[in-house]
Amino acid sequence: MSFDAAIIGLGYVGLPLAQEASKVGVKVLGFDVNQGVVDDLNAGRSHVDDLSDADVAAMVEAGFHATTDSEQLAEVKTLVICVPTPLAEDGGPDLGPVNAAVATVAKHLQPGQTVILESTTYPGTTDEVVRPVLEAGGLTAGVDFHLAFSPERIDPGNEKFGAKNTPKVVGGHNEASGDAAAAFYGQFVDTVVRTKGTREAETAKLLENTYRHINIALVNEMARFCHDLGIDLWDVIEAAKTKPFGFQAFYPGPGVGGHCIPIDPNYLSYNVRSKLGYPFRFVELAQEINATMPAYVVGRAQNILNDDAKALRGSTVLLLGVTYKPNIADQRESPAVPLAKQLMERGAKVQYHDPMVTNWTAAGDGVEGVSDLNAAVAAADLTILVQNHKSYDIDALAEASQRFFDTRGAAHDSEKAERL
């Protein structure tokens, strides 16, 4: 079978993209270095929250095929790189996965192909990192092959917006490259938004998530002083968001998690420091505030137990929800990890319950999973709502608990509940 496009990296970004393309008749080759992922997909088994086994089976029926054989990349017209870019130890992006993917593409690059990078990174990556590797074989970007950047905007678990109806930002190395990339996405995405170039497209993604990062930090800091002043911040937000213009509601929490908010703004901050020699102060302050929220939650937990004449050391603390957002199994950068570790460092016995996670080891072996939720809530000295999954009846759980600390503003009717 011949293929029209290859999606390189079949995770939370690449697989939904492949699904939408397959729906309109684009023959998609999925490439991944993980043989287990490839075998599961070809057998109709999904490994991401947003696609069911039936969804993957329908893709296979439509002609989708996954492989670890990079030789097949030479046979497609469009190649889209969707590999992760985690943070490196120095605070910048770890481009290891991107570099590996680009090297693989370069080995098989053919004249007339279009290469699109979707992996989130710092401005200039497409031109300064990707292009030289692809051109090393003698072909020229914008002449012999097209090169573009189109930031991924996948929001796992979002039931309203997916790959099809989320506008697709596209920036080409030149106009012809932008045209080619826009034509590819235009087959299955409702709206394509063009930028002047790759750097603008790269920076647009970072601006989106930096905006959220900073505003989350704002309400996290407000949560602290509102508590000290006896002000119900959750009520404040509900009142403020009735304004039909000029305000968007953000909510405090035990920390930020996921594949974007804790990571992407740091790419921009790193880029500013490394290239311009001065700090991006808003981002760095926001990172400082958000990163200290787990410690703040631990301090509040200790105070709640003190009110019951209990010490944190020796108390049983039950964490409800350990994923980074509700109703999905994704645990990337979940604030539950530093929260659990800091509780254990202070001598607490930490347990967890999560309907989406059967085996949680991210915080170490000292955290015990519980299967009987009601019994665990009744027995724990303190129950902390970390992630509000829809299967939780928060008010009932709060009422059944000895003490309940709600970091998501979901409990309303119990005197035993204290909100962040």
The 8-class DSSP code of residue 87 comes to B
**Degrees, nearest 5: CA angle 257-261-263:** 90
For residue 229, tell me if it sits in a domain.
Answer: no
**Which pLDDT tens digit goes with each residue over 307-334?**
999 999 999 999 999 998 888 888 888 9
The structure tokens listed for 416 are 């035993």
Which of 82-91, 171-180, 287-296 has maximum average pLDDT?
171-180
Residue 262, pLDDT score:
66
In this prediction, residues 253-266 reach a mean pLDDT of 76
Same domain, 198 and 301: no
In this prediction, residues 1-27 reach a mean pLDDT of 94
- The reply to whether 82 belongs to the active site is no
Same domain, 46 and 160: yes
The more confident residue out of 414 and 152 is 152
**Lowest-pLDDT range of 31-45, 208-222, 252-266, 393-407:** 252-266
Number of helical (H) and strand (E) elements in the chain, helices listed first = 15, 14
In this prediction, residues 224-253 reach a mean pLDDT of 96
CATH classification at residue 88: 3.40.50.720
The stretches of 308-348 forming alpha helices (DSSP H) are 336-345
Q: How many domains does the chain have?
A: 2
Q: Which domain holds residue 377?
A: 292-420
Same domain, 309 and 200: no
For residue 84, tell me if it sits in a domain.
Answer: yes
For residue 317, tell me if it sits in a domain.
Answer: yes
Residue 260, pLDDT score:
67
For residue 274, tell me if it sits in a domain.
Answer: no
For residue 273, tell me if it sits in a domain.
Answer: no
For residue 404, tell me if it sits in a domain.
Answer: yes
Residue 280, pLDDT score:
86
Residue 23 CA to residue 175 CA, distance in Å, equals 28
Closest to 104 (Cα-Cα) out of 133, 131, 126: 133
The more confident residue out of 279 and 83 is 83
Q: Which one from 82, 170, 260, 297 is the annotated catalytic residue? A: 260
8 A C-beta contact, residue 29 and residue 42: no
Q: At residue 155, does pLDDT exceed 70?
A: yes
For residue 217, tell me if it sits in a domain.
Answer: no
For residue 264, tell me if it sits in a domain.
Answer: no
